[in-house]
Each structure stands twice: as C-alpha cells, then as structure tokens.
Amino acid sequence: MAFATTNPATGEVEKSFDAHTPEEVETRLARAHAAFGTMRSMSFGERARLMHSAADLLDAENPDIARILTTEMGKTFAAAKAEVSKCALGLRWFADHAAELLTDERIDDHSFVRYDPLGPVLAVMPWNFPLWQVMRFAGPGLMAGNVGVLKHAANVPQTAVYIEELFRRAGYPDGAFSTLLVASTDVAAIVEDERIAAVTLTGSERAGAAVAEVAGRVLKKCVLELGGSDPFVVMASADLERSAQVAVTARVQNNGQSCIAAKRFIVEASAYDEWCDRFVAGMAALTVGDPMDPGTDVGPLVSQTQRDEIAAQVEDARAKGATVACGGAAPDRPGWYYEPTVLLDVTTEMRVLQEEVFGPVATVEKAADVEDAIRIANRTQYGLGSSVWTTDAEERDRLVAGIQAGQVFVNAMVASSPELPFGGIKRSGYGRELSGLGIKEFCNAKAVRQGA
C-alpha cells in the first residue's frame, strides 16, 4: 500500500510513500516502549524545554508546513498558517502548565493523589486538521511523560512524517514520538500489542466504534472524539447582523470540514426572515477558488469521494422538498470544489438533518421560542459543540443548561483552545482532550496513603 498526497485543488498525485513493513512497525513499537522509561523519568522542566523547542520549530517553519497542509487537504493557505501557529501556542501552553496540572493533590495529612504516565499511546488521527489534531494529543501526552505513536490518515503522509521529524529535531529521545505508515486494517493489531498502553482517536463514528471495540476487548483506556452536527441557535434578542456574519465563518471554516463547524442553524421565528436574508447573502458572496490564493474564502473538499457525498446529501434534501437558497452545485473546474450552500424548508427525513454534513452546506430551521430551539438543537444523535446567540440572560441560562453538548459558546463560534476541555457526548464520543482534564486522561491517578 502506498500513501499519497493528492492535491484536492487539482486532483493530481504530488508525492507518495510506501507503507511501513511489519518489521519497520515492530522496530518503531520497540523504540516507543524503550523511550517510555526515559520520558517518564524526565522532570517537567526537561519535558518543557523540549516542548518549547518543538514550538519554536513550528513557528520558524510555519509557511513551509502550512503549504504542505494546503496541498494535502485543501484548506486555505491563511487557515493553514493559523493552524501551525495554534499548534505552537498549544505546545507552549502545556509546557508551561503541565507541572501545575499534574501536581500531587493533597487529600489530608496522610493522603494524596499523584498522576503517573501510562506509556506509549496510539493516536489515530484524521486529515481535516492534520497538524492540530495531533498536537492537541502530543502536547499534553508528552508533557505527562507518555510516548506518542501516530497512525495518521492515509492522505496526509507528508504531515505525518513531518511530525515525527519535528519531535526528533526538537531533541526528544529516540522513539518518543513515532509515525506508523500503516493501513486502517492494521490498527486493531497495534491496539492489541502489549506495548501500547492506551489509544485516542479522532474520526468517524465507524472508526471510533471499531477502535473502541478492540480497546475494550483488551481492556485499554480509549478516548474518542467523533462527529458533530453542531447547532447554532439565534434568538430574536441577538445581534442579528453580527450573528449572521459569524455564522458564515462558523459554517465554512476549513472548507466546511470541521467536526465543530456549525451545521444546523436554528432561528427564532420573529427573526427568521431577516436573519436568513443576511446569512444567505453572506454565504453567496464567498469566493471559491485556489486555496493558495489570498482572495479565496473556500477551497476544495479533501477528495472526490467527499465532494460526491456532499452532493448526494444536497440532492437528497432537494428531492424531498428543501429549498436551495444559494449554491447547491459543484463548480465546473478541476479539483473537488462545492459551492457554499444554504438549505431552507428542511425536514427530519432528509439526510442533512440525520447525518453529519462535512462540507460548506448549511440548513436553517425556525423555532417558536427558546424551549423549541433547545428541542430542535437536541434532535440529533451528536453532542459535540454548540453556539447560542442571545442578549437575554434568562435565555442564555436556559440554552446553556438545556443543550446536550460537550461545549456551549455564547455569542461566539465554537473553537478549541488548550485551556478548555474538548470533547462530546452521545455519538460524538467520550473522554476529553486539552486542559487539565485532557492531560489526565492518559495518567494513572494513583492514590497514596501513609499510615501512622
């Protein structure tokens, strides 16, 4: 099996890599196992020095690695550079806070809890944020004293190889972070390997269920961050102009390929017409084009398969009575582009309300009042993020308490940041990344009591 960089803007293969042989996989797992002894014995100060070195390299090499991100998955060059900067920030945050987050917790004069690393952790990561997804595991994981073993998406091999080299060049011990170029069918055997202590996965429900099944069978800790169909609730009291502007960005961030992108827009009835007019105009005004062009707002989808899936979801909605307010087609040009699209008059039998829509396609629904908005927001199998817009304190409190999601952002679009826990409920997965909760996911909370 070969791993290839296929440029979504052109459809052309630009670089390929051979899969690691079973012997190469064995060598890398053995190195990871050996490196754990070194990593766990390091002081937080030593780990922080290495982590800052990795962050410095990211900053110094930002345009070069950003170009790889754009070439491999199609995000705009501006978005790719922002992703690299965010990774450096995240690494520095954990370098500076890990010691405090993992300090012994004193219970009483005779008891405390200490946090010990588990060992090599397998990270199965997706293509949509190919650097940030990995760094939000690697930052807390390595600072806790664990070792990282990365199985990245097959279509971002250059990014995967770069990440291993990044930590090596930063000065980490041999094997402290390794990339495995292996097929998805090889993951189960790696999870089962006795040298792997735990596994974290960001990806589809199907991939998450498959990995969780294996991890459960061998009784290993598992953290899953899966899909999302995030609601974006707008009450009549909200700033309609500002919320509509942010809604456009929230829907098409990363070309619409983000688990925490707003996907289902729910607007109170008395504000519906005005808000829809603003939102549709904003979506229709976006520039679709070459992701390397600074004037581009929305680049291509990651693959022809992904573009075809989005087109099929839109056609299903259209056939069942949805109104296409803007977009609704693939431009006639090379590459895997799809127009920013807004669907009105949607109903629950349509795929766009039953499934995650991983592209620049939005649905807009009408809510009678705040309780109706909560009902519609929760009418999904997912529970990752949510955004609510209101200037009424009572509405805000009811929305925050009532929406079933791992995150609620008030008068702001959902975003991840190192100091906040990140994750979901329902079919969006379980466990948390980032923050103090995230760094402790792959630690042994060891209770210690000393007798008299």
Contact 276, 325 (CB under 8 A): yes
Indicate the helix (H) or strand (E) that contains 67.
helix 62-73
Given a contact cutoff of 8 angstroms between Cβ atoms, the answer to whether 220 and 196 are in contact is: yes
Check residue 23 and give left, alpha or beta (phi > 0: left; psi -120 to 50: alpha): alpha
CA distances for 195 relative to 33, 122, 202, 368, angstroms: 6, 10, 21, 55
**Is 225 labeled as catalytic in the residue annotation?**
yes
Are the CB atoms for 243 and 268 separated by under 8 Å?
Answer: no
Pick left, alpha or beta for residue 429 (phi over 0 → left; psi -120 to 50 → alpha; otherwise beta). Answer: left
CB distance 311 to 357 below 8 Å:
no
| Tokens representing residue 160 in the block | 């995967």
State the Cα–Cα distance between residues 393 and 92, nearest whole angstrom: 35
DSSP bridge pairs for 115: 445
- Residue 341, phi then psi, degrees to nearest 5: -130, 140
The C-alpha atoms of residue 118 and residue 102 are separated, in whole angstroms, by 13
Enter the tokens of residue 283.
């979506």
Q: Which of 25, 42, 48, 176 is nearest to 163 (CA)?
A: 176
Angle between helical axes of 370-377 and 393-402 (0-180°, round to 10): 30
Which amino acid, one-letter code, is at 29? L
Told to judge if 87 belongs to the known catalytic residues of this protein, a careful annotator would answer no
The residue annotated as part of the active site, out of 87, 222, 259, 326, is 259
Residue that the structure tokens 């349509």 belong to: 350
Contact at 8 Å (CB) between 424 and 226?
A: yes
Contact (Cβ atoms closer than 8 angstroms) between residue 253 and residue 261: yes
Q: Which of 72, 83, 164, 225 is catalytic?
A: 225
Cα Rg of the chain (Å, integer): 22
C-beta neighbour count of 29 within 10 angstroms:
21
Q: Which residues belong to the active site?
A: 225, 259
